[in-house]
Each structure stands twice: as C-alpha cells, then as structure tokens.
Chains A and B, each alone.
Chain A
Amino acid sequence: MAEKVLMKGNEALAEAAIMAGCRHYFGYPITPQTEIAAYMAKRMPKIGGTFLQAESEIAAINMVYGAAAAGKRAMTSSSSPGIALKSEGLSYLAGSDLPALIINVQRGGPGLGGIQPSQSDYFHATRGAGHGDFHMIVLAPASVQEMVDLTFKGFDLADKYRSPVMLLSDGTMGQMMEPVSLDMGEVKEYDKSSWATNGTKCEREHNVVNSLFIQPDELERYNFERYERYAHIEANEVMYSEYCMDDAEICIVAYGVAARVSQNAVDKAREQGIKVGMIRPITLWPFPKAVLNAAADKVKAFISVELSMGQLIEDVQLATSCKKPVLLCNRTGGMIPTTEDVLASINKANSVGGDK
C-alpha cells in the first residue's frame, strides 16, 4: 500500500504533473487555481524545469504550444475567464495535433462572475473550446486522488492521441485537502520524432507544426483523419463510475463536486427505501453514452445534478435518446446543491417517474 500524504487538490495536481514528466509550466494568475502556479514556481527551478509567469493567458497557452511543438510535456492552468482567453490556443493545439494538458479550476460566470466553485464551463470544455471542428479529451476529477490520477493519465492521453486534454476541475476540488497516494507508476514515453520541431540536426526532413491548410479538400481530409482518431477515443477511453446502480430505479448523473454531494443523497434516499443510484462520468468527452443509454432501459428517471444552468443535462438527454425524463437539480453562481436539494429532486423523480 502506497504511503498517503495530505495535500490540497491544486498542489497534488501540480506534483502529479511533475511526476508525469511535465517540466514546462506557463500560467497567469487567477483565482481559484493560484496554488498550481505557486507550487510550480517553487518546484520547477529545483528540478531543472521551466516555470514562467506569462504576460497573459493568451501568451501562456501559446508558450505551451511552443514547448509542446518542441516535443515536451507542457501544461497551463487557469480558471474560467482565463480559460476563455485560451480558446484560440486550444483550437490551434488541436488543429496542429499537439499534446498538452490544460487545467480549468472552474469558477462562476459569465463575465468576471465570481470566485466560488462552478461547473458552468461544461459547454466550453465539451462543445466549444475554440473555433473549428475539434474535441479535447475532458477529464473530471471528483477527489484529490483523482486530481492526481487524472493529471498523470491526462498527459499520457495527450501524447497517445496528440491532442490537448483538459482537466475540468472546480474551486472545491482545487481547494480541499485529502490524503492522496502519489504512487503513479512508470511514465510511458512516446516517439515524437516524426513531428516535433526540436531541430533537424541536418539528419532528417524538416518538421512543420501547422494548422493552416488553404486547400479546402486538404483541410477536410485532416479533419476527417482527426475525427477518426476521435472515434477511436470514444471507443476506448470512456471512463465513469457507478454507485448503487444494480437495482436503481432513479439514476443521478453528476461529476466533480456535484457527484460527491449526490453520493450522500443516494445514501440518504436508500435509507428511506428509494432505489436510486448514480453514474458519474469521469470523461466528459468522450461522454459515457452507452452506459447511460443502457440505464435508460432500466430506470424510470434521470437527475442531472450540476453547478450550472442545465449543461450536463443535454448530454444525458442525448445519451439516453430522451427515453426517460431527465430532471435538473442545480445551483449556479458559486453555490453548491446541498444533500437536501438532491434528496428533494430524488423524491420528485420518484413521483414523476410513476410506473416504469
């Protein structure tokens, strides 16, 4: 059994990135992700890595683009308004097939919003992280341990699929402390010699990192190829966890902090004899469509519990082909639904669902 240490989510994540071989961090101050930058500022100089506080979020993501182009594991972190500024860079990373890890410790929006936890960047992360046809793999941790595990895995997925990966966290995950194991295992190395711009050494043709294809048929071909890769990701990389789903008649769908609250509500409802369970997506893209669609043939209703105004719910409806009603249990603006809020929704689902 690996030794566990008590760590704050943001700091555990930063250490996991270092353990994953990331030696290039570029960021810009914003709450509530600040500890990641502060941790990197302390650690990177000691291990021969780069910590650079960029002049803007935009510059930071472009520095990531440069380091990633050179074939290095690179990351940036920010919170919602800052992530919006990185959108252009995310699109360029995807368009140039560059691996990188982007951390979004979400806070309330729109606009300057607030600094309390939120999940209102769900659409941004899963639908519209930038212009053009592309996806990012989106990972949603629900504990400090998962902040660590998914950071480690995120770098691997990024290299494996040559794609930007986003870790979609929130202020709660970032700020809370839990015991974690940092026993990550081996870092898998990927051969980047066919594309990395780290100098030809006059031994090979030059490599070009580029997202510009002026001929429409060529651009279409690249997009088709990328979507073939995406299909492979959808078939192989879906992650989720199930809780009390064996006999469930009501299924909660929730990720991150909303899933933690929901799990308590499931326990309480079960004490009252209500058969409720939970499916917690760990990858928000690719979304665990198949397991939800199968659940739709068994349960009488779904509840989307989220810290946003009905964003996750759309994926639940799509995945289940609207076979069963999907209720929304949500708070927003930095507010977190209570166990009682979720319980109330469970009771409502229990009645609106009626007979199966």
Chain B
Amino acid sequence: MNAFVVPAATNVGSPALNITIFGIFVAVTLVIVIRASRRNVSAADYYAGGRAFSGRQNGIAIAGDYLSAASFLGIAGAIALTGYDGFLYSIGFLVAWLVALLLVAELLRNTGRFTMADVLSFRLRQRPVRTAAAISTLVVSFFYLLAQMAGAGGLVSLLLGLDGDTAQNIVIALVGVIMITYVLIGGMKGTTYVQIVKASLLIAGSIVMTVWVLAKFGFSLSNVMGAAVDNSPKAGEKLLGPGLKYGTSNLTKIDFISLSLALVLGTAGLPHVLMRFYTVPSSKEARKSVEWAIWLIGLFYLLSLVMGYGAAALVGPGKILSAPGKANSAAPLLAFELGGEILLGLISAIAFATILAVVAGLTITASASFAHDIYAQVIKRGQVNADAEVRVARMTALVIGAVAILGGIFAKNQNIAFLVALAFAVAASANLPTILYSLFWKRFNTRGALWSLYGGLISVITLIVFSPVVSGKAPLVEGGPSPSMITDPSVDFSWFPLDNPGIISIPLSFFLGWLGTVTSSEKANEVKFAEMEVRSLTGHGAEKAVAH
C-alpha cells in the first residue's frame, strides 16, 4: 500500500483533461462498434468477425491485442530503470512471432473454425482433448485478464489523480463494464475495430514521443543513452549493458534464460492471438496478418527503446520510482515532461484504451472457448444450434466480465508482470507443444495431448506457487515487506528457486507429450490425419468468409 503515501505533488497533469480525452475515445469506439454490429448474426460473425477482415486490418488488430499495458508501460519503464535488461523483454516478444509465422498461423487457419481446441481435437478423441484445451485457454486468458485489470487499477492513481481505494475500484468496474459492452454488442468484429483504432493511436503516440525525445538530443540515440547514464547516478554506465537486473547471481541468469524461453515460445500458444487468425478469409491473409503484425510490433519496440532511455534521461529514475505507478509511470511522466498536460492526457487515454481493448479481446476468446468447446461440443456433444451457442457465449462474456472486475479489484496491488509471465509460461508449456505435435507428428495421440496439456498446466502452476514470486523473497529493506505476492516476510513455503518456471515446464511438457503418445496403444487415425495434413497445407475445405 506504500504507493498511496507519496505526496500528492507527484500527481501530474490535469485529471479532467485525461478523463475527457479518454471519454472521447470510448465514445468514438462505441459508435464504431455499434455500426460494425449491424450484421452480427451468425456464430462466424460473433467469434470470427465473419472472417472478412483483410490481412492488413487483422495485422494491425493483432498488434493492438499484443501491445498490452505490459508492453507499453512495462517495457518503457523497465528500460528506464534497468536499461538494457528491459530491452531484452521486447526482443523475446518480437522474435516469438517467427514461431507463429513459420509454424502455426497458416496451418491453424486452414484446419480450425473458431478456437485453438478445434485444431488440437481435429484427429484425436474430441471430448477429453477439447476439455483440456479449453481449460488451458481459460487459465491463460484469466491470468492475462487479471494482469490487465490490475494494471488499470494501478494506473488510475497516477493518471486520474484518484488515489482512494474506492475510486480505484470504481474505475476498474467502469473499465469492465465498457469492455463487456464492446464484446456483447460488437462481437469479434467490433472488438477488432477497437483493436485497430487503439493500435494506430498507440503507434502514432509513440512515434511523436520518440521523435520529440530524439529532437532534444540532436537526433542521436547515443546522446540519449549518454544523458540517461548521467541522470541515473545509481546505475551509471551499467544501464547500457546487460546484467543490471539479471546479472547479479548464477540463479538470476538461469531465471533470465528461463524467461527468454517462455517469451519466445509463448506467443504462438496464446489463445487470444491464435483466435485472430480466424478473422481473415484465407491462410494467405493469415500470413499477411502476421507479416503486418511483425512490422508494427518491431517498430513499436524500437520506439520503446528510445522512450525508455528518454524517460531515464529526461525524468530520471528517482522521480519515476517515487511516482504512484512506479516503473509503469515512466512513459506517462515522459509525456508530461515533453508535451505537458495535453500530451500526458493523450498518452494516458491511449494507455487506458490499450487495457480496454486487450481486455475485450481476452474476454471474447475465453467466452468463445467456453461456449464453442465446453458447452456445444463437450456438454451438448455438438447437438446445438449456432444461435444457442452464441447466446451462451454472450452470457459467458458477462460472467467473465464480472469475474475480471472482482479479480481486478482483488489483484490491483499485485505484481502484474508476474501474472503476464505466468500466462506466457502456461501458453508455452501447455499449448505450444500440443499444437506443434498435432500439426507435425503423425503418431501423436490423445494420451500424448492430455499429458502434455495437463502436465504443462499443472507443472507451471505448481512451480509458481512454490517459487519466490509467491512467498519468501527477502525484504528490500530490513523489517520491510517482502516483494513476493505474500508480503509478510515470515511466511515462506517456497522451494523452487526461479521466478520463471519455463526452463523446467516447457521441456517437461514436450517430454510428456512424447511419453504419453508412445505408451498409449491408440493408433493414429490415418484417415483424419490425411485430412488434416492435406487441408492444412492446401487450404482445401477451410472455412470461408461469411457472405452478407
């Protein structure tokens, strides 16, 4: 709770202006969503936007989905405070897209309809595999959602000048309600337009800030970095090389490698990213989506390098750390330093828009997975009409929205980076091995899929619960609170030494997928495998765009 004892003087900008700009964003996007929803009739409309988006539109929307608050505020802040080690995050997040481009996007688009489970259960036993894949989807989406909602709460104190508990809770609830409205009215089509608007604003805002920072330093990155060093008395020269955060011991180095592994393998297993590939009419457009996404996300991370060092140079680590949002406030504080109230208002509104859009994307993914996989296929065994299925999806979205609001209120003082890392670790451990095996390994069977999915899921959660992330980190100051989730330093049940479980759980899940397959007597279904392989490569029988 120490975030709230800082003097009010660190609240910068004009809350009224911030709220106004944000209100305009919400109003404009709502109009777009309502217009987009006029033709929201079929399941393909609700889940996949009628599969009518172009590769470029979907690529921008993917960038909107992917560049979450953790990317925008988190990475700029991490670079401002830990320099080069913050930059490492963005590289893992970017390179990961090559896994999606080369191995997953097109094949998945050709074989599935709405969800990740469609592909995983294609040639295996439907009900157990679908259930496992849906559970994994819900878990990943839930942790990701919680991180975004918690981030929303944390930001409020800085951006809107509200620092009471109740005020923060009200803002979290408001974000949740707006998001539910988007999803219920707009479905995937509306959500996609929100992502496109948001991604465009985010990248435009970042370009403005980057050019502004560079202009102050004679358009030389070297000068920006030099000024960042001069303004960081504690870190000094170390800001520019690796090791400030992860180089302190052998254990932290292994932790860093483990994180890198989860980042690079997690993206292609994130259900809300995978689902976006169904919103385009063909695998060629899916390829184009990823191409656009890579350009935009790469550009954004290059910009965030300048913004991060710029924040260190112009704002300084002391001021960033004493602001209510700590590292997350680096980018907004830089905006205030550069362009005063108005730029701060714009950047704050973009940050809120970011959270809103990502939360909407996650909600539609989770609701689709529940309605399409669990309700329609597992409970009703496919004997359900599309209208009923979409009705269930809408009701699920309401429930998820309510859970997200409650979870966000509960988790608002939690460490959000850990929640995102957890989502990536589950995606890389549980989802990716199963996706790759089912696309490329003929022998792969039901037991292999279940062992790999559940094994990955259970090992990640177990290792995190018993890691220093949850309990047992030594307090930063003598007698102070522990930086673990459980802040009481006397509670310590951790036995796993790493913050990031990927280095254990990812190989384990690949191994379990292999072991389950070879110990099972179930033969690969030759006919289904032939169908899956031919369809995945030729695009034959792939779901087409909805004609209106």
Q: Do A and B come from one complex?
A: no
